[in-house]
Chains A and B, each alone.
Chain A
Amino acid sequence: MVNQTTSTSQNRANLLRWTGFSISPRLAIAAGAVALFVAIPLVYIFIRAADADIESWQRLFQTRIWKLLGNTLLLVAAVTGGASLTGVSMAWLTERTDLPGKKLFRWMLAMPLAMPAYIGGIVHLALLRPRGGYIPKALENLFGEMVYTPSPLGFWGAALILTLFTFPYVYLLSGAAFRSLHASLEEAARTFGRTPMQTLFQVTLPALRPGLAAGALLVALDILAEYGTVALLRYETFSSAIFVQLSGRYDRSAASVLSGILVALAILFLLSELRMQGRARFTQMESNWRPAPLSMLGKWRVPAILLVLGVVSASLLVPMIVLLIWSIQAFLDPQSLSSVFQTGSQGFGNYVWNSIWSSGLAAVIAVLLSLPVALLSVRYPNWVSKFISRLCQVGYAIPGVVIALSLVLLVNRTLPFLYATPLVVVIAYVLRHMPQAVRASESALNQLSPSLEEASRTMGRTSLQTLMQVTIPLILPGLLAGGSLVFLTSLKELPATLLLRPAGFDTLAVRVWVWAEDGFYLQAAPAALLLVLTSALPLYFLLRRERIFR
């Protein structure tokens, strides 16, 4: 009751602000500038695409586009479906049943987020490659003849491997939703005569739909942008085709056209994701929340454990173990050891340092830029501020290859002194991953009662002092979470780094990729392992913030 009255008055206060309080011009200008910074590369791609001569449009339409569109959409559909199915069923098993070892499994199911899909792809490819893979070879030695093994190449391989490394998005979102769902909702269904199974399908899952859809659409956007894995598994999508145009044939006109179409497609996905996000709210926790009773697995206990173990093995345990073994082998072999630590004038330390400073700087910049945008959209919600906030989330819909293309063209033309400096790489990270910072800042601010800021004002602080002394200290955990996310994803970013880096600027991701592409798995392994562990650290702290991981 007490809570209720406070929250209604809160709503009233928010409503007042919405309609009444005049927007601070300084804040509006700052947010507007951020939006402009984000919008320019996007708009530029469309301009270049529209600007391309009719001939390249025609040529592309006659030859490539339909095939690429089909390939891309097919992969997106398969992976999104697979990731949703895997994510929701894993979430249900670890949140709503008496599965043994749930606590451990929760961590192991979320941790593949720290593993870039291309590294997982490298491991699975090395294991299963039709000729020369570890498993086919071992089987051949064992039976003395070729044994058929499924190939990880092509559509099915790509779909399966990408599913393995993207399902945690859905898993985390639906796990949190399962957890926060009010027990009485299901109890109500039971009193209306539904069996537990009917309740799951008629009440629980539909109630989770908004969160689930948001997770699935994030997966879809991720697949649209994916370059490393599809290139590795030789399945051509828009992203990999653009990459080839850019790096190999160097046909910028064709790349622009393909990019324009890809981004338009991605924006469609992003728009539906943003709509879902707004509605995802009704699964949020209420004050009188209590956990729903667990379903008993009974005779399904063993198959359930095997299923979870299978998913965890393929997406986490096997890749980690293989990387570990390779790393040990690399350290035992003097030749590869020396090349791990010294390639040309560059050493291992350089890659680590490059990775960390570029991703770290991107995280700091992204969080700083997200602040005015979040302040404006949360404290003064109207259509202008909402538009700015949405525009700043457009990075989700711009794949790394497209950001790279746009920046190459833009920087060349307008800021040539930036060209071929690591700063361009940092800018690409910021543009691509800022949405995560914006969302984290917004959700942190949403939880901060405006009356705290008003209290500070009545006690003699200006709006800027209030921001520094009250607002920022209080939302700092949220800002750090946003920063960690940006850091984590920048660390993994492959195509933008490959295309934009100046000669000699190698990051861990780049090194892993280059070595693995040349078949030097042992050499690549220590870098890959370090990359995974570096990503796992911020991920660990992010997950600790979630209720289900305490």
Chain B
Amino acid sequence: MTTLEVRNLVKQFPGSTHSAVNDVSFELSDEEILALVGPSGCGKTTMLRLIAGLERPDSGLIHLNDKVVVSDSVFVPAEKRGVGMVFQDHALFPHLTVFDNIAFGLRGKKQSEVRTMVGEMLHLVGLLPLSKRYPHELSGGERQRVALARALAPRPVLVLMDEPLSSLDADLRTEVREHVRQILKSMRATVVFVTHDQDEALYMGDRLAVLQKGHLEQIGTPEEIFHDSDTHFVAEFMGDSDFLKGRVVSGGIITQIGLLNQEVDLPIDTPVEIAVRADDIDFEINGSGNCLIIERFFRGAFNLYRLRLDTGQIIHAINPHTKILPVGTRVQAYISAEHELTIFRDQELPR
């Protein structure tokens, strides 16, 4: 069943030259987590605020549980939509205890009922002993969990999360995100999760939606987004890809570092770009090789090398940590990938 349906949503702020959200459409089914990801200023937060009812779109439709909440003639205000929202700064009410914060969304219920529901939520997020504390007496991670419990407590049809982990320290973030995903899944919540962090998006999302300049670039599973990028932007943003120029020949694509043996559905001689990641490239020492090591980054389990091709293009390659080569060594690089690589027609057109 579809929980959220967004159709041709447009929002432009007065005084701005481009749309913050530009003709975006997607659907979200029950119990699904959608990670909305993109660089800052791509419109992902505006998207979230439009769904929440905190912002009014210029045009477009939003359906929540098959009810129209936004259309040309309808605008259901935030308080009537029944969505839960987790804010970037958590927005816990500083004048209320943890218990009262979570109970805030449970109005019109019997007191005993409220107590049970809040207790359940506190148990779920593991904060039962802290129910009488005030927000300022909590750590960042605890605050984050209260914000989540508060949003989930009224069992909203949809949970919206606006970069909920960005205010946490980096080491805490990975730990918390596992916990958050686990909680969301155990509540069988339907979630839109906004983040600018690709890792977090890949981890959190059942599906990902990549936004750029208000435009929906691609929506799909983490694997599709990562290995089968629809656009140059997605490949670059999600995968730290290098783009290797090449030309279609019979039996593959000829590049500066050799032939890629992959069938493409393009006429011979078409200029293309191949998205390659550091793990798709390997090299060996060769005094008359095709590139030069210009930098080496130690990454613990492996070394990341930055290589300069004779044409001046920069590519990256990883190598096990036992093999350390000094900067300035001439090497022969080649494509080592054993899976299909994503190929774009030059000028950013999908294949």
Contacts A454-B85, A460-B154 supplied; 8 other A-B pairs, CB < 8 Å: A2-B167, A10-B89, A21-B55, A455-B91, A455-B93, A459-B79, A459-B84, A460-B79
Q: Does chain B have a CB within 8 A of A288?
A: no
From B80, B87, B154, A455 is in contact (CB under 8 Å) with B87
Residue of B nearest to A13 (CB): B45
Q: State whether A2 and B107 are in contact (beta carbons under 8 Å apart), knowing that A452-B93, A462-B79 are contacts in the complex.
A: no
Tell whether, in the assembled complex, residue A457 and residue B14 are in contact, meaning their CB atoms are under 8 Å apart: no
Q: Is A5 a contact of B14 with CB atoms below 8 Å? A: no
* Candidates A6, A22, A460, A474; contact of B88 at CB < 8 Å: A6
Structural contact, B13 and A19, CB atoms closer than 8 A: yes
Q: How far is the CA of A459 from the CA of B95 in the complex (A)?
A: 16
In the complex, are the beta carbons of A456 and B166 less than 8 A apart? no
Between A and B, how many residue pairs show CB distances below 8 Å?
A: 87
- Which residue from chain A places its CB closest to the CB of B153 in the assembled complex? A459
A457 touches B77 (CB 8 A): yes
Bound complex: CA of A10 vs CA of B162, how far in Å? 12
Which A-B residue pairs are the 8 nearest by beta carbons?
A459-B105, A451-B91, A457-B78, A455-B91, A458-B85, A451-B87, A19-B13, A452-B91
Interface readout for B170-211 with A: 1 if CB under 8 Å, 0 if not? 000000000000000000000000000000000000000000
| Cα(A452)–Cα(B93), bound, Å | 7
User: Which residues A1-56 have CB closer than 8 A to chain B?
Assistant: 2, 5-6, 9-10, 12, 16, 19-22
A393 to B79, CA, bound (A): 34
Scoring B residues 126 to 163 as 1 if CB is less than 8 Å from chain A, else 0, what string do you get? 00000000000000100000000011001000001001
A386 at interface, CB cutoff 8 A = no
Asked if residues B88 and A20 are in contact (CB atoms below 8 Å), the reply is: no
CA distance A548 to B95 in the complex (A): 25
> Within 8 Å CB of A454, what residues of B?
52, 54, 78, 85, 87, 91
Interface residues of B in 66-80 (CB under 8 A from A): 77-80
Interface centre among A6, A10, A449, A457 (most CB of B within 10 A): A457
CA distance A470 to B79 in the complex (A): 14
From B15, B87, B94, give the contact of A19 (CB < 8 A).
B15
Q: Tell me what chain A mostly uses at the interface: helix, strand, loop, or mixed.
A: helix
Residues on A with beta carbons closer than 8 Å to the beta carbon of B216: none
A16 proximity list for chain B (CB < 8 A): 13, 46, 49, 55
Residues of chain A whose beta carbon lies under 8 Å from any beta carbon of chain B: 2, 5-6, 9-10, 12, 16, 19-22, 449, 451-452, 454-462, 465, 470, 473-474
Q: Is B308 an interface residue (CB 8 A)?
A: no
Inside 8 A of A5's CB, which chain B residues have their CB? 166-167
Asked if A470 contacts B93 (CB within 8 A), the reply is yes
Complex alpha-carbon distance, A459 and B84, angstroms = 7
Q: Which residues of A contact B79 (CB under 8 A)?
A: 457-462, 465
- 18 CB-based A-B contacts, threshold 8 Å: A2-B140, A2-B168, A6-B89, A9-B89, A19-B16, A20-B13, A21-B56, A449-B91, A451-B89, A454-B52, A454-B91, A455-B93, A456-B104, A457-B77, A457-B79, A460-B82, A470-B93, A474-B95
Q: Bound state CA distance, A178 and B169, in angstroms?
A: 33
Which residues of B come within 8 Å of A, CB atoms? Answer: 13-16, 45-46, 49, 52-56, 77-85, 87-89, 91, 93-95, 104-105, 107, 140, 150-151, 154, 160, 163, 166-169
Cα separation A128 to B330 with both chains bound (whole Å): 96
Question: Given known contacts A19-B14, A449-B91, A452-B93, is B107 in contact with A460 (CB within 8 Å)?
Answer: yes
Check A459–B169 contact: CB distance below 8 A.
no
Q: Are B95 and A473 in contact (CB under 8 A)?
A: yes
- Complex formed: what's the CA distance from A462 to B78 in Å? 8
Which residues of chain A are near B55, meaning CB under 8 Å?
16, 20-21
Nearest chain A CB to B348's CB is how many angstroms away?
28
A454–B78 Cα distance when bound, in Å, is 8
Q: With A6-B88, A474-B94 as known contacts, state yes or no: A458 contacts B78, CB within 8 Å.
A: yes
Rounded to whole Å, the gap between the CB of A32 and the closest CB of chain B is 22
Closest to B166 in A: A5
What's the least CB distance linking A380 to chain B, in Å? 13
- Expressed in whole angstroms, the minimum distance between the Cβ of B250 and any Cβ of chain A is 52
Q: B105 near A460 (CB under 8 angstroms)? A: yes
- Closest chain A residue to B84, Cβ basis: A458
Across the two chains, which residue of chain A brings its CB closest to B80? A460
The residue on A at minimum CB distance from B14 is A19
A459/B154 contact (C-beta < 8 A), A449-B89, A451-B88 known = yes
* CB-defined contacts of A465 to chain B, threshold 8 Å: 79
User: Which residues from chain B contact A20 at a C-beta distance below 8 Å?
Assistant: 13-14, 55
Task: Please report the C-alpha to C-alpha distance between residue A20 and residue B19 in the assembled complex, in whole angstroms.
Answer: 12
Complex: how many Å from CA A10 to CA B90? 12
Q: Do B91 and A459 touch (CB < 8 A)? A: no
Q: CB-CB < 8 A to A470: which residues of B?
A: 93
In chain B, what residue has the closest Cβ to A454?
Answer: B54
Q: With the chains together, A454 CA to B89 CA distance in Å?
A: 12
- CB nearest neighbor in A for B86: A455
Q: How far is the CB of B56 from chain A (nearest CB, A)?
A: 7
**Which of B15, B54, B150 meets A457, CB within 8 Å?**
B54
CA A22 to CA B14, docked complex, whole Å: 11
Q: Which residues from B are CB-within-8-Å of A455?
A: 85, 87, 91, 93, 150
Contacts of A6 on B, CB cut-off 8 Å? 88-89, 167
A543: min CB distance to chain B, Å: 23
Please give the distance in Å from A117's CB to the nearest CB on chain B.
Answer: 39
* Chain A residues within an 8 Å CB radius of B91: 449, 451-452, 454-455
B89 touching A2 by the CB < 8 A rule? no
Shortest Cβ distance from residue A386 to the other chain B in the assembled complex, whole angstroms: 16
The CA of A253 and the CA of B89, in the complex, are separated in Å by 59
Q: Which residue of A lies closest to B52 (CB)?
A: A458
| Chain A residue nearest in CB terms to B56 | A22
Nearest chain B residue, comparing its CB with the CB of A466 = B79
Q: How far is the CA of A5 from the CA of B167 in the complex (A)?
A: 8
Q: Which residues of B contact A452 (CB under 8 A)?
A: 91, 93
Shortest CB distance B228–A (Å): 32
A342 to B13, alpha carbons, bound, how many Å? Answer: 68
Give CA–CA (A473, B163) in the complex, Å: 27
Nearest CB on B from A391, distance (A): 24
- Report the bound CA distance from A523 to B36 in whole Å: 76
